[in-house]
Amino acid sequence: MNVIEITDIVKSYRRGSQRIRVLEHISLTIANGEFLSLMGPSGSGKSTLLNLIAGLDQADSGSIRIGGTEISTLSETGLAAWRAGRVGFIFQFYNLIPVLTAYENIELPLMLTSLSKKARHAHVITALSLVSLQDRMDHYPRQLSGGQQQRVAIARAVVTDPTILVADEPTGDLDRQSAEDVLELMDQLCTQLGKTSVMVTHDPRAASRAHTLKYLEKGVLSDAPQAAVSECLQT
Amino acid sequence: MRLKLLFRNVFRHKLRAFLTIVGICVAILAFGMLRTVISAWYAGVNASSSSRLITRNATSLIFPLPISYLEKIRGVNGVREVSYSNWFGGIYIDAKNFFVNFAVEPRSYFDLYPEFVLPEAQATAFFRDRKACVAGQKLAKRFGWSVGDTITLKGTIYPGNWDFVLQGIYHGKNAATDENQFFFHWSYLNESLKKNDPRRADQVGVYIIDLKHPDMAANVSEAVDALFRNSYAETLTETEKAFQMSFVSMTEAILTVIQIVSCVIIAIIMAVVANTMAMSVRERMGEFAVFKTLGFGGGYLSMLILGESMALSGIGGILGIALTFPAARAFAEAVGQFFPIFHVSLDTIFMDIGAAMAVGAVAAMIPMWRVIHIRIADGLGRTG
Ligand SMILES: Nc1ncnc2c1ncn2[C@@H]1O[C@H](COP(=O)(O)OP(=O)(O)O)[C@@H](O)[C@H]1O
Ligand SMILES: [Mg+2]
């Protein structure tokens, strides 16, 4: 069964008086529990596509169905509510709230639900143990390493039990070992918890952890050219 | 969690929060002090009673009225009681020890001014002794007088040294009552004048009329002035409030300037706090974009910003109000003789609160608008 069904989307940005096409008639389906990696040169439109899937932006035309919901017709508030329940976000620079502890950062998305404090606590603890950071829950982001911050961000992404996870260069700012840990975690989320994940990455090593590879260039999507990837892997 | 977030954001930059709060505190303090100066200026007006009229010489307050008017005024319909007083203008030791002193008709005067409260025994002693005087308790405290002391005033309008025996110390019925005045027997003054300067005897500065009912003010003043029309000393009768107001209006321009300055102070601090808020929100646009990504609405975030701004001005405002009291007390001690009533009124506190809230609300406006309208992709910044 396909969780993500993208049909014929076009997206352009206005720059001054010009319109710049970033995505040209893209179609893509992603199955439940799949871990898809999106590669491509800088400026090729990877983040743009990811943002459309995550409901952060609207396409010019085409349809995006996620878990049976057509999100291209939702209003801004409708999208916000939909994102809160269905999407987990992981960013390159972790984007934790600096004045909140690890625990509070993870609890943040739950503030938009009707869960009681006790229920929220249970969810946060579960998410914390998933990323093995129970002993750091009272630390503020600045007291954590980059890898630990990204693990907190992953916990924040999964604490609402979303349908899909989107990650934009999640290892882009991490050292090798931390990157490995994060990728291992994402892999687990797919294989053990059945989360569908879309990850944008530059890093072939990261891409190789995914189940599926897609390649985006000049606004056109293709299956990853195997040669390019394996070549990168060897270096 | 919302409050935790709000307060942690307020104190994120400790120095900046501290300086902003100090700024608001000083502004509210200055605002409160200026408002207090204004109300001190109007103290006489505010303390005046709507059931009292003042009759003075129509030409000018500096010209007296004959004592013979007393019985005629008393006969006017609607008049309950009449008293009279002369501005004495005596100096105690040195001109810089200024205070207000009047020659009055004691019984009727204290009957008309129930806000001057005199203990029964002292009142009796004062009324009986021709050379007696009474002083307000602030005045007595200022010069360390106690009952039984002899007090000598040097006359300026009425030359000579005048000895009085302090027979009573009155206190005010409420905070609006002036406790810095000094009264003695008009008859004592008049008898001396009869002996030494008969031309100036049998005259009073003003008559004070107590009405049976405040509604009769217009009719009674009309009737009193009609009584003496075309006589050599025509009268002007007005309410005590209007009478007091005529002193204030001489300095109205100064008061207007003070009012404007107090508003300018608030406007300046508004701009300062608005700048602080704009700066702190601009730095956090990325964070707000994250909040929005997670599904938080612009409304939630703008309330967070409003809350922050209100918390800053609230803390600054409360400190400012708290400091106004000791500051006003110090000010009153320094210049008490010019402002007999210098206390922070409830109205001033309400104005302080209103000003602080306005500062908080106005300062948050632009940042609120911005946070509602940021686009997530822009806020997150593009990262390759
Ligand atoms: N908000 C925007 N406004 C204008 N142009 C944009 C915006 N976001 C992206 N672009 C442009 O669209 C193209 C694709 O950007 P992006 O999706 O961020 O690429 P990638 O993530 O693959 O590096 C780039 O040329 C970029 O400059
Ligand atoms: Mg990108």
Residues in chain A predicted with pLDDT less than 50, given as ranges, are 235
| Structure-token pair, residue A7 | 């049909």
Among candidates A20, A19, A8, which has minimal Cα distance to A61?
A8
* Residue B268 within any structural domain of the chain: yes
* Residue B96 within any structural domain of the chain: yes
User: CB contact, 8 Å: A85 with chain B?
Assistant: yes
Backbone angles phi, psi at B244, to 5 degrees: -65, -40
Backbone angles phi, psi at B65, to 5 degrees: -125, 150
**Are residue B63 and residue B162 in the same domain, yes or no?**
yes
Among candidates A199, A228, A194, A195, which has minimal Cα distance to A212?
A199
User: CB contact, 8 Å: B380 with chain A?
Assistant: yes
**Are residue B9 and residue B152 in the same domain, yes or no?**
no
**Are residue B85 and residue B227 in the same domain, yes or no?**
yes
Among candidates A131, A142, A157, A129, which has minimal Cα distance to A101?
A142
> CA quadruple B139, B142, B146, B149: dihedral positive or negative?
negative
Residue A192 confidence (pLDDT): 87
Among candidates B272, B335, B277, which has minimal Cα distance to B28?
B272
**Are residue B38 and residue B66 in the same domain, yes or no?**
no
- Subunit contact B294:A112, Cβ cutoff 8 A: yes
- Subunit contact B295:A83, Cβ cutoff 8 A: yes
- How many Å apart are CA B115 and CA B122, to the nearest integer? 16
**Are residue B293 and residue B370 in the same domain, yes or no?**
yes
CATH superfamily name and code, A2-234: P-loop containing nucleotide triphosphate hydrolases (3.40.50.300)
- How many Å apart are CA A150 and CA B234, to the nearest integer? 93
| Structure-token pair, residue A69 | 């919901």
Ligand nearest to the CA of A39: 1
Count of structural domains, chain B:
2
Could you report the predicted ipTM of this complex, rounded to two decimals? 0.92
**Are residue B167 and residue B104 in the same domain, yes or no?**
yes
Last residue of a domain, one of B206, B233, B260: B233
Q: Out of B1, B296, B384, whose CB is closest to A169?
A: B384
* Residue B240 within any structural domain of the chain: no
**Are residue B66 and residue B161 in the same domain, yes or no?**
yes
Residue A130: HSE in the Cβ half-sphere, 13 Å Cα cutoff: 27
Residue A230: HSE in the Cβ half-sphere, 13 Å Cα cutoff: 3
* Residue B194 within any structural domain of the chain: yes
User: CB contact, 8 Å: B119 with chain A?
Assistant: no
Among candidates B181, B201, B180, B182, which has minimal Cα distance to B190?
B201
* Residue B52 within any structural domain of the chain: no
* Residue B272 within any structural domain of the chain: yes
Range of the domain at B124: 59-233
- How many Å apart are CA A106 and CA A156, to the nearest integer? 4
- pTM to 2 decimal places: 0.78
**Are residue B30 and residue B84 in the same domain, yes or no?**
no
Residue with tokens 């892999």: A187
User: CB contact, 8 Å: A203 with chain B?
Assistant: no
Cβ-contact B4, A104 below 8 angstroms: yes
* Residue B238 within any structural domain of the chain: no
- Residues with C-beta atoms within 5 A of ion ligand 2: A 47; B 384
* Residue B50 within any structural domain of the chain: no
Give the alpha-carbon dihedral of B298, B302, B305, B310, to 10 degrees: -160
Q: For ligand 1, what atom is nearest to the CA of residue B378? A: 1
Backbone angles phi, psi at A193, to 5 degrees: -105, -5
Ligand nearest to the CA of A215: 1
Nearest CA to ligand 1 atom 16: A45
User: Mutate which of A14, A47, A200 to test ligand 1's pocket (most atoms within 8 Å of Cβ)?
Assistant: A47
Residue B383 confidence (pLDDT): 40
User: CB contact, 8 Å: A172 with chain B?
Assistant: yes
Measure in Å the smallest separation between the Cα of A160 and chain B Cα atoms.
10
Non-local (6+) Cβ contacts of B330 within 8 A are: none
**Are residue B83 and residue B213 in the same domain, yes or no?**
yes
- How many Å apart are CA B81 and CA B68, to the nearest integer? 15
Residues in chain B predicted with pLDDT less than 70, given as ranges, are 250, 336-338, 381-384
**Are residue B292 and residue B374 in the same domain, yes or no?**
yes
Backbone angles phi, psi at B327, to 5 degrees: -65, -40
**Are residue B192 and residue B155 in the same domain, yes or no?**
yes
Backbone angles phi, psi at A30, to 5 degrees: -130, 130
Q: For ligand 1, what atom is nearest to the CA of residue A42? A: 23
**Are residue B119 and residue B202 in the same domain, yes or no?**
yes
